[in-house]
Amino acid sequence: MDNTVPEIRTLLGVDVIDSARTAPHLLPQVPTVLEKLLSTGMDAVGLSRQDAVDAQYTGDGWLYAFPSALLGRVVDLGRALDGIVAEHNKWNKLELRLRLAVEVGPLPDVQGFHPANISRSRLLEAPAFKLLARRCIADRPDGSMSTAMIVSDAVYQTVFGSDYTKIARGSDFAELAVTNKEFARRAWVTVPGFDARTLATMIAEDGPAASAPVEESEPTAFGTVTNTINGTSTNTVQAHTIKGGIHFGRDRA
């Protein structure tokens, strides 16, 4: 039995909020627009798609695995994307709003379910996180809410325990107890435009309701699935199973 610890990876999940509610004639634009927004955001924080050791298009988002050394930049990406997405929404009929999740942990270069990518999925799909994002959207009827980001406690303590970010600030995050299936962890959330105290109040008001599943339309597959590996790995790092349509990258266990 090989007891070698796999490389520690920075795991990023990006999901379009309520993608299936997009007008049918605009759906074909989603993959291209999302990729453009993410590329612009990565450029802004000094990241590159070539830095990713794994990249998977999920049908309504992306899942990335980056070297652990880039953790601070990935957290900065969540903050940088807010202005980029807001600017896009200001001038285009197709408006997107994003949920992002960041986790860190060992990730083998073999196909299968691994604790780190399952944890990322549970964070991204956590009912409490979805509910908070929707509350923030409802609180901004002008459409100015653009992104919401959740990070694990390990990510939060690592990047804000020292000076590893340039634009993201720990004081903008509110603590959130996440329960999703068998997953129960402490996490941290930020929504640009809402200070940490306001987010904490919303979280407290939601109470037990935050643990209930949030009804959401089934994502639509917008085209082909891209699975890209950079580096020396010969196997893909799969993050989930297939359950109806195209759902590569999201754990449905």
Give pLDDT tens digits for 131-183.
999 999 999 988 899 999 999 999 999 999 999 999 999 999 999 999 888 88
Query: Which stretch of 30-44, 91-105, 164-178, 214-228 has the lowest confidence by average pLDDT?
Result: 214-228
**pLDDT value, residue 33:** 96
Contact status, residue 136 vs residue 201, Cβ threshold 8 Å: no
> How many CA atoms lie within 13 Å of 55's alpha carbon, on the beta-carbon side?
13
Cβ neighbours for 56, distance < 8 A, ≥ 6 positions apart: 62, 63, 64, 225, 226, 227, 228, 236, 238, 239, 248, 249
**pLDDT value, residue 28:** 87
Dist. CA 146–CA 156, nearest whole Å: 21
Could you report the per-residue pLDDT of 231-246, keeping only the tens digit for each?
444 344 444 433 333 3
**pLDDT value, residue 223:** 39
- Look over the chain and give the mean of its residue pLDDT values, rounded to a whole number: 84
Answer positive or negative: Cα dihedral of 114, 162, 123, 210: positive
**pLDDT value, residue 111:** 65
Confidence of residue 209 (pLDDT cuts 50, 70, 90): low
Contact status, residue 86 vs residue 76, Cβ threshold 8 Å: no
**Residue 115 pLDDT greater than 90, yes or no:** no
Of residues 108 and 48, more confidence is placed in 48
Dist. CA 97–CA 214, nearest whole Å: 17
Dist. CA 133–CA 128, nearest whole Å: 9
Average pLDDT on 3-30 reads 89
**pLDDT value, residue 252:** 36
DSSP class of residue 177 equals E
Contact status, residue 12 vs residue 63, Cβ threshold 8 Å: yes
pTM for the model stands at 0.82
Could you report the per-residue pLDDT of 29-84, keeping only the tens digit for each?
999 999 999 999 999 999 999 999 999 999 889 999 999 999 999 999 999 999 99
**pLDDT value, residue 208:** 63
Contact status, residue 225 vs residue 248, Cβ threshold 8 Å: yes
Q: b/e string for 205-222 if b means 16 or more Cβ within 10 A?
A: ebeeebbeebeeeebbbb
DSSP output for 206-228:
HGGGGGSPPP-PPPPP-S---EE
Average pLDDT on 178-196 reads 93
**pLDDT value, residue 98:** 97
**Residue 12 pLDDT greater than 50, yes or no:** yes
Q: b/e string for 114-129 if b means 16 or more Cβ within 10 A?
A: bebbbbbbbbbbbbbb
**pLDDT value, residue 211:** 57
Phi, psi at 62, each rounded to 5°: -135, 150
Confidence of residue 110 (pLDDT cuts 50, 70, 90): confident
Dist. CA 114–CA 59, nearest whole Å: 21
Dist. CA 45–CA 49, nearest whole Å: 12
Q: How far is CA 58 from CA 89, 239, 241, in A?
A: 22, 10, 11
Superfamily of domain 8-228: Nucleotide cyclase, GGDEF domain (3.30.70.1230)
Could you report the per-residue pLDDT of 197-206, keeping only the tens digit for each?
999 999 999 8
